[in-house]
Structure 1
Amino acid sequence: MAADEEITATTGRSLLSLGFMRRFDPGHRELRRFAASGEAGQALMVHCVSRNTGSAPDATTASAVTNSAIHELDSIPWLLGSPIAEVAWLAGKRSTAAPTGLHDPAFILLRTADGVLSTLELFLNAQFGYSTRCEVVAERGTASLAEPALVATNAAGTRSTPYPEDWRPRFADAYRLELQAWIHSLQRGESSPLATARDGLRAAQAAEALILAARHAGTFVPVDYS
Structure 2
Amino acid sequence: MTLNVGVIGVGMIGQDHIRRITHVVSGARISAVTDVDFDRAKAVAADLPAAKALQTGQELIDDPEVDAIVVASWGPTHEEYVLASIAAGKQVFCEKPLATTREACERILDAEVATGKRHVMVGFMRRYDEAYRAMKATITSGDIGAPLMFHSGHRNPNVPPHYTSDMIINDTCVHDVDVARFLLDDEIVSARVLTPRKNSLASDHLTDPVLFIFEMAGGALVDVEASINIQYAYDIRGEVVGESGTVELAETNKVVVKKGGQWGGRVAEDWRERFIRAYDTEFQEWIVAASKGESTGPSSWDGYAATVVCAAGLQAMESGERVEVSLREQPDLYKVTAQGPTGTD
- Residue number in structure 1 paired with 2:175: 71
- Residue number in structure 2 paired with 1:27: 131
Secondary structure at 1:89's aligned position in 2? strand
- Residue number in structure 2 paired with 1:224: 326
Deviation at 1:121, TM superposition (A): 0.7
Note closer, same or farther for the CA distance 1:62–1:180 as it changes in structure 2 (3 Å cut).
Answer: same
The correspondence of residues 187-206 of structure 1 with structure 2, limited to 5 A, is 187-189=291-293, 191-206=294-309
Could you list the runs of 4 or more consecutive aligned residues of structure 1 that deviate by over 4 angstroms after TM superposition?
none
Deviation at 1:28, TM superposition (A): 0.9
Note closer, same or farther for the CA distance 1:100–1:153 as it changes in structure 2 (3 Å cut).
Answer: same
Question: Within 2, Cα distance between the matches of 1:54 and 1:150?
Answer: 26
Deviation at 1:22, TM superposition (A): 0.6
Q: Which TM-score applies when normalising by structure 1?
A: 0.92
Q: Which has the higher contact order (CA 8 A, sep 6+)?
A: 1
**1:223 aligned partner, one-letter code:** V
Q: Deviations over 1:95-114 (max 9, x none)?
A: 11111221111111011100
Question: Within 2, Cα distance between the matches of 1:196 and 1:72?
Answer: 16
- Residue number in structure 2 paired with 1:9: 113
Q: Deviations over 1:179-223 (max 9, x none)?
A: 11011112333x322211221111011000011101222x32101
**2:139 aligned partner, one-letter code:** A
Q: Deviations over 1:41-81 (max 9, x none)?
A: 11111101110110222322211111101001111011111
**Mean alpha-carbon deviation: is it higher for 25-34 or for 107-116?**
25-34
Residue 208 (str. 1) matches residue 315 (str. 2): no
Question: Within 1, Cα distance between the matches of 2:112 and 2:196?
Answer: 45
- Residue number in structure 1 paired with 2:187: 83
- Residue number in structure 2 paired with 1:128: 232
Residue 156 (str. 1) matches residue 260 (str. 2): yes
8 Å contact from structure 2 (residues 126, 278) kept in 1: yes
**1:186 aligned partner, one-letter code:** A
Secondary structure at 1:108's aligned position in 2? strand
Question: Within 1, Cα distance between the matches of 2:205 and 2:325?
Answer: 24
The correspondence of residues 34-183 of structure 1 with structure 2, limited to 5 A, is 34-183=138-287
Secondary structure at 1:48's aligned position in 2? strand
Question: Within 1, Cα distance between the matches of 2:316 and 2:265?
Answer: 37
Aligned length: 224
Question: Within 2, Cα distance between the matches of 1:36 and 1:150?
Answer: 26
| Identical amino acids, percent of aligned pairs | 31
8 Å contact from structure 1 (residues 7, 14) kept in 2: no
Gaps of 5+ in 2: 1-104, 329-345
8 Å contact from structure 1 (residues 4, 16) kept in 2: no
Bigger radius of gyration among the two: 2
Question: Within 1, Cα distance between the matches of 2:295 and 2:170?
Answer: 24
Q: Which TM-score applies when normalising by structure 2?
A: 0.62
Secondary structure at 1:176's aligned position in 2? helix
Gaps of 5+ in 1: none
**2:322 aligned partner, one-letter code:** F
Alpha-carbon RMSD: 1.7
